[in-house]
Amino acid sequence: MICPPSNQHIQNAIDQLNNGDLIGLPTETVYGLAADATNDLAVAKIFERKKRPRFNPLIIHSHSIQSLKDHVIWSKTAEVLAQTFWPGPLTLVLPKLKDSSISLLCSAGMDTLAVRIPNHPVSLEILQRFDKPLAAPSANPSGRISPTHAEHVHQDYPDLLVLDGGACSVGIESTIIDLTNESPQLLRPGMITRHEVEALIGPLSTATSDAVKAPGMLKSHYAPEHSVKLNVNNPKEGEAYLAFGPTHITGDFVLNLSPTGQLTEAAANLFTMLRKLDASSCTGIAVAPIPNEGLGLAINDRLKRAAAPRDT
């Protein structure tokens, strides 16, 4: 449903977000598919509805630098860029604070977080009134073109509440700068150019396209300390077990991604449960088979990475 951004419709949108549902959010770059970034299940719905084959990390949107400081480690470089370009089409990747309430799913299990303050009156009003950060990728199914009009979002997601913010003035996704390494990196080009950024903070290195396309391969990506084995129906003694669906297996180190076998719930629990089991005194982590369909594709992609041989 396309709605004008009246007081009433904005309130409806906020109710939906509080309910753990998604909305179509206009920003100056492209329309976003937005969810409460602190709600695991709501964030899992984003991946489900985008049909993403893997958990690409998501950009966190907020109305103020002050509120972002609850979630990321701020720096002088971040301050310079934010003061110059925010609100606006620039995303900064920063180290994530350990006690941030943002769902681990937003950062695909990594210790970093991509954040921005969008420059659009409707998104700013929603962010202020909702007063929690929103996770929002572009509101299109994976592999399709990003939406720049409310109508585009409606075509792909007819049941979604889409606030009509008019045509997006920028029309391409935000420039992404990674500030988590020694030298800042340009991860995604956008309207704010390399030249404009370099004029303020010095030379940027360019990420290999692989690193951006496959954030799961980034060095900072979370990998469990313990070994991970997949497709296990009967864990060995001493092994932690990450179950899925109804199971007779019980024990101190047994957690169930979704006792009823729901993939959305499993995705919502994945990173939190992996971390919990990894912190236990088990000998390794065994994971139940997960159906390789729908969100199961992304869950299995992530689990395969967790189970892959390590460099060190």
Q: Which residues bind ligand TXA (CB under 6 A)?
A: 27, 29-30, 32, 56-59, 91, 93, 107, 110, 112-114, 118, 136-138, 173-174, 176, 178, 187-188, 212, 215
| Contact positions with Mg ion (CB under 5 A) in 128-147 | 138
Site string for Mg ion, 104-123 (x = CB under 5 A): --------------------
Give min distance, CB of 90 to ligand TXA, in A.
9
Give min distance, CB of 174 to ligand TXA, in A.
4
Note whether 148 binds Mg ion by CB under 5 A: no
Taking CA atoms, 181 is separated from 193, 196, 204, in Å, by 20, 20, 11
* Strand locations in 2-95 (E): 2-3, 23-25, 32-36, 59-61, 90-95
Give min distance, CB of 59 to ligand TXA, in A.
5
Residue written as tokens 């994530």?
Answer: 96
Give min distance, CB of 283 to Mg ion, in A.
40
Other CB atoms closer than 10 Å to residue 167's CB: what's the count? 10
The residue (of 93 and 228) whose beta carbon lies closer to ligand TXA is 93
Phi and psi, residue 116, nearest 5°? -160, 160
The residue (of 30 and 81) whose beta carbon lies closer to ligand TXA is 30
Give min distance, CB of 162 to Mg ion, in A.
16
The residue (of 77 and 283) whose beta carbon lies closer to ligand TXA is 77
Q: Are 236 and 223 in contact, with CB atoms under 8 Å apart?
A: no
Q: DSSP secondary structure string, 165-216?
A: --S-SS-SPPEEEE-SSSS-EEEE--SS-HHHHHHHH---EE--HHHHH-GG
Instruction: Tokens for 135, please give them.
Output: 């996770």
